[in-house]
Amino acid sequence: MSPGATLATSAAQAHYLGAVMRRRAGDRLLVFNAGSGEFAATIGALDRRAATLVLGARTRAPEPEPDCWLCFAPLRRDMTELVVEKATELGVSRLVPVLTARTQPARLRADRLAAIATEAAEQSERLTIPDIAEPAPLAAFLASFPPSRRLFVAAERHAAPPLSPADPLQPHALLVGPEGGLAPEELDAMARHAFVSPVTLGPRILRAETAAIAGLARLLAGSAP
Ligand code: SAM
């Protein structure tokens, strides 16, 4: 992306601009892209299936973002959506659904979760949208987890150190279990990996979505303003 360039939107973006946002040709808006930053843009042409945007001046350069993943057992649909929205606002770079022994079966709608993450990124003025991984069973998740990334596992009722802010540029991840908690044998299996650090979020037993949001708020507290 560079000033003066013309971009073609997808059909869904053209529909959103015209039918949802009620924009017209000639209207101005802001567009962003992770690698290039944010630009002023003018709608060149717009119909129901296609739109073109003419880029103006760059309004924000790309900025460093924390390298933080949220790994979470999928919850009830509305709670999973809440977690995706709040984790995106807080700044995670990736969302990883992990299927644990006590995860309640739930169908994850990838398109809906991606739309929620996109809206939350726009709302919070991020220049990136976290990617959302395919759900993976815990054993496969651990087997493919990069050992250079620290994995903080939120474990209630455990004598573990409290979760502290992480260096935002060092790769790290937070894992939160399902409503029924992580099974003792799952915690044992995780403890065998050198990249795993069990952590507590305090003496109260938090709902899984609260644990994810509270944990990320602590972990990302060291990110630059
Ligand atoms: N059913 C479990 C019980 O009553 O012991 C509670 C599970 S809790 C609702 C769901 C998840 O949130 C847990 O697997 C854990 O990852 C996280 N969690 C909740 N409270 C926590 C705390 N105080 N410290 C660390 N993790 C916590």
Residue nearest to atom 12 of ligand 1 (CA): 208
pLDDT digit string, tens, across residues 82-103: 999 999 999 999 999 999 999 9
- On whether both 88 and 180 belong to a single domain, the answer is yes
- On whether both 207 and 107 belong to a single domain, the answer is yes
- pLDDT score recorded for residue 189: 95
Ligand 1 midpoint to CA 180 (Å): 8
Distance between terminal CA atoms of the chain? 25
Whether residue 159 is contained in a domain is answered as: yes
- On whether both 40 and 73 belong to a single domain, the answer is no
Whether residue 192 is contained in a domain is answered as: yes
Q: In what order do the strands lie in the sheet with 6-8?
A: 6-8, 51-60, 37-46, 28-33
- On whether both 132 and 22 belong to a single domain, the answer is no
Whether residue 1 is contained in a domain is answered as: no
- On whether both 86 and 142 belong to a single domain, the answer is yes
- On whether both 118 and 163 belong to a single domain, the answer is yes
CATH at 196: 3.40.1280.10
- Going from the C-alpha of 20 to that of each of 16, 39, 54, 113, 207, the distances in angstroms are 5, 21, 20, 19, 35
CATH at 28: 2.40.240.20
Residue nearest to atom 3 of ligand 1 (CA): 181
Residue 124: give the domain boundaries: 68-219
Whether residue 20 is contained in a domain is answered as: yes
Whether residue 143 is contained in a domain is answered as: yes
- On whether both 194 and 132 belong to a single domain, the answer is yes
pLDDT digit string, tens, across residues 146-187: 999 999 999 999 889 999 999 988 999 999 999 999 999 999
- On whether both 33 and 126 belong to a single domain, the answer is no
- On whether both 109 and 187 belong to a single domain, the answer is yes
Give the C-alpha separation, 219 to 174, whole Å.
8
- On whether both 124 and 176 belong to a single domain, the answer is yes
In this prediction the ipTM stands at: 0.97
Ligand 1 mutation pick, 70, 72, 206, max ligand atoms within 8 A of CB = 206
- On whether both 34 and 97 belong to a single domain, the answer is no
Give the C-alpha separation, 97 to 100, whole Å.
10
- pLDDT score recorded for residue 223: 78
User: How many Å is the Cα radius of gyration of the chain?
Assistant: 20
Q: How many domains does the chain have?
A: 2
